[in-house]
Every structure is written in structure tokens, then in C-alpha cells.
Amino acid sequence: MKTDTIAAIATAMAGAGLGIVRISGPDAVFVADRVFFEKGGRKLSETKSHTIRYGEIREDGEVIDEVLILLMKAPRSYTREDTVEIDCHGGVYVVKRILEAVVRNGARPAEPGEFTKRAFLNGRLDLSQAESVMDVIQAQNEFALKSSVRQLSGSLSRVIREIRAELLHEVAFIESALDDPEHFSLDGYSHRLKVIVNNVAGKVEKLIASSENGRILKEGILTVIVGKPNAGKSSLLNSMLGEERAIVTEIAGTTRDVLREQMNLNGIVLNVIDTAGIRDTEDVVEKIGVDKARQYLEDADLVIYVVDSSTELDENDFDIMDRLVGRKVIVLLNKSDLHAKTEEEELRPFLEKMQNGCKVISVSAKEQTGMDELYKAVKDMFFFGELRFNDEVYITNIRHKTALENTLESLSLVRKSIEEGMPEDFYSIDLMNAYEELGSIIGEAVEEDLVEEIFRSFCVGK
């Protein structure tokens, strides 16, 4: 582990009322003393920890800025190292000047995520907590933020450590029994172990099952709007966004490429993709857009199928409905302000094939009617009508999900060995593999290269 002193700008590189330069490491206080001059002449090294001092940052006798200095001595700091934070005026140039002065006086520029990496290496955070720091920074809604904060406080770590403790106890018992059969009997043990493994597997399966909701909470619902040309898809997008983002004309095939927008629906993030109208066409450019629409439909969490209720269903509608089988779909009978030629009853044979009893809503994108019912349907479909955060642990990280899936596979091998009457040392091998996979989540069994890769994705200054 590096023991030198690092420094970085901890605030955004944009004009603001306040900027922060952070210094961490064994020489943090001495580096700060070389550039900070308190009004009363006292050195920072003579100051008590967790105090704030007022003075100036100077270099070569020149005053760069008036600042406040926050001093946090080890181990009572984010990194568990001596840490100094310089609060200065938030101009981009002045913050850069202060960082340059700090670097010239003994610190080195921090790498991305290096402060949090040091917190991890010094035992201040485990790896899952460290990763949640970036999730907190990138949270796009209240629920993603609350989930990230809970993981930062150790909610996931506690669950993982409890499961690992159960597995380690069984491994220790098997090893003891194999080494000292006179004092540790394995009679009937396979039956007892099977019950324990099933219980642990249930906990792991529950965590894996939470990953879908966790991903949606973190990233938002990938929502694809589909329909035949001129059904009103772009008008619907504009209505949902409350502004004219998509071009709307009476000409069928106006939308030829995908248009991506993000909206916050009372705490739910929708990543909305407006697609080209799906139909058979000889137009080369439009055909590319139609192919993209079909491709995005395959990956969607939610499909909003817009039907032009003022026209009769045609082969393009039938083609789209065939592609929606088994998906989460909300059907909008658009143009309800016009005389209806297509009603819900005509869609019923196709709706029955769709997932979760597809909801049909009559709307008018032009008149902006039916939108509240659409938003309620989204909440009902993904959150069972209750948009509130509970104490459940959500898996929001693909690395964690993969490790949990590998854990479940190892537990399955234990069960297989029990059923086939294999020797107990076979149990021990797979139990230990499960133990180590879980350890990779919290950083207790992880390669150094993976640690480097994780923190490389962090922002500088954190």
C-alpha cells in the first residue's frame, strides 16, 4: 500500500461559491503548513484535530486565497489517515492554483477513487461499501439514494458476513471431524448439512432476486415506445416530458431514428426511447430505424405500445403484438379525442398472451388526457402501487450478482455431493468456494487487479 501524501480537488470543476482541496496521508498536516498561514500565526501542526482554522493560502509570499482549513487527524478521518481539507472560493482557477501549490509543497495528485481506496485498504470501508460511495454520487432518484446509503452503512455487508459465518462454521466442523473423528462424529451430518445449505441457498436466491428491482432503482426503467407509423408515439413522448422534444407531423415515418430521454416520474426514473414506426418499408433509412426499434424492444423493461384508435388494426399492429408476447406491456389507445375505430375488445385475443394481464388505457397525447392513469399503471406494474423504500437489501451491482450466482452454483454442488453420498471432504471444497465467492463481494477474497479496476471508475477527489 502506498503511504505517500495525496491531494485532489474534491468539488466539481465549475464556478461555485465554494471549492474544496483535499489532502490525505502521513505528511498532510506538514504539507498544509507550508502553504497555510493562520491570521494568529499558529501552525496547523499545533492545532487540535477536528477543528477549523481561518487564514490564507500563500506561495512565495503571494496570497492565493482566503480559506478555512478543516483538520482531521488519523484515525478519525474518511481515509483513516491525517486529512486536511481546504475550503476556498469556488472559482475554477483559484482552486487549481491552490492544488498546484499543495502539490509543489510535497503532495502528489491523487488518482481517481484513491481516497476511497485508502479508506478500503485501511479498513474504514469494505469493498461493497466503497462501491456504494459511487452509487450515492450517481443516484438519480430518492430510492436509489436510500438504497446506496444503506449499503454504505453496511446493510449488504452484514448479510454477507452472516452467511459466510454459517458456511465457515460447517467447513471448520468437517475439517475437525476428519482430523479428530474420536471427538467429532459425522453420523447423520449429511442430512443436517443439507438443511443448512438449503437455508443458505434461500438467502442467496433472495439477494439474487432483488437484483432486478435493484437495477431498476439504480438505473431506471428502460421504457420503449412502439407502434405503427403515425400512431402518436412522438406526441406521447412530448406529453410525458412536458416539452417538444420529438418532431411531430402528419407524415407517416417522420421518426427514423431512436430518441432517448430521461424523466423522473414521482421518484421512478424512466429511460424512455421513442422509436421509428414499425412497418414494412422500402425506404433504406426508415428500414434502419425500424430494425433499431425491434432491437430495443427486445431489451426493454417496459414496452408502451401506442395504438391509433382512430384507425383499424392492420398487419403492422399484428406484427408488433406478436413481438410483445411475454413482456411487460402497457397498451395506449391513443387519439381518444377522435372517433374510435379500434377498441379494447378487438385487442383482447392478443392481450391475453402478454405478461401480467396487460393494462389498456385510453389516452389522447394531443389533449394530454389519460397520462395520470399511465403513470399509475407503471407504479402498479413495477412497485405494486407502493412507491416507498423498505429495509430490504437490494443488489444493484452486477459484480455482486455474479458472485452470488457463483455462490449458488457451489451450494448446488454441495447438495449434489450429499445426494450422491460423496465423502465429506467434497462438501468442504464447495462450501469453501461459496465462502470465497461471498468474500469477493466485501473484498476479503479479491484480486488486487479487480480492486484497481473498481476504483479506477471513481471520480478524482473521491
107-118 per-position pLDDT tens digit? 999 999 999 999
Res 279: pLDDT: 52
Minimal CA–CA distance to 240: which of 269, 278, 279? 269
Residue pLDDT, tens place only, 291-333: 676 777 777 888 888 888 888 888 888 888 888 887 888 888 8
Determine the Cα–Cα distance for residues 379 and 299; give it in Å rounded to an integer: 20
Which CATH code for domain 218-383?
3.40.50.300
Determine the Cα–Cα distance for residues 128 and 134; give it in Å rounded to an integer: 11
131-215+395-446: in CATH 3.40.50.2300: no
3-state secondary structure of 259: strand
Determine the Cα–Cα distance for residues 275 and 297; give it in Å rounded to an integer: 9
Question: What average pLDDT does range 205-209 have in this prediction?
Answer: 92
Res 159: pLDDT: 94
Determine the Cα–Cα distance for residues 211 and 207; give it in Å rounded to an integer: 7
Residue pLDDT, tens place only, 355-401: 556 788 888 887 888 888 888 888 777 765 454 555 678 888 889 99
Res 366: pLDDT: 78
Distance of CA 383 to the CA centre of its chain: 18
User: What residues contact residue 254 under an 8 Å CB cut-off, 6+ apart?
Assistant: 229, 234, 247, 248
- Residue 422 pLDDT > 60, yes or no? yes
In degrees and rounded to multiples of 5, residue 163 shows phi and psi of -65, -40
Q: In the chain, what percentage of residues exceed pLDDT 70?
A: 88
Type of residue found at 317? D
Residue pLDDT, tens place only, 208-267: 988 877 777 777 888 888 888 778 887 888 877 776 654 444 444 444 456 778 887 766
Kindly report whether the peptide bond that precedes residue 109 is cis, defined as omega within 30 degrees of 0: no
Output the pTM of the full model: 0.73
Give the burial string for 87-105 (b: 16+ CB within 10 Å, else e): bbbbeeebbebbbebbbeb
* pLDDT interval class at 277 (50, 70, 90): low
Res 253: pLDDT: 42
Which residue pairs from 162-168 have beta carbons closer than 8 angstroms and sit at least 24 positions apart in sequence?
Answer: 163/200, 163/203, 163/204, 163/438, 164/435, 164/438, 164/439, 166/196, 166/200, 167/200, 167/431, 167/432, 167/434, 167/435, 167/438, 168/435
Q: Where are the domains of the chain?
A: 6-126, 131-215+395-446, 218-383
Q: Do the domains 218-383 and 131-215+395-446 match in fold?
A: no
Res 266: pLDDT: 66
The alpha-helical segments, DSSP class H, found in 180-308 are: 189-219, 233-241, 284-299
Give the burial string for 393-402 (b: 16+ CB within 10 Å, else e): bbbbbebbbe
| Arch. (CATH architecture) of 6-126 | 2-Layer Sandwich (3.30)
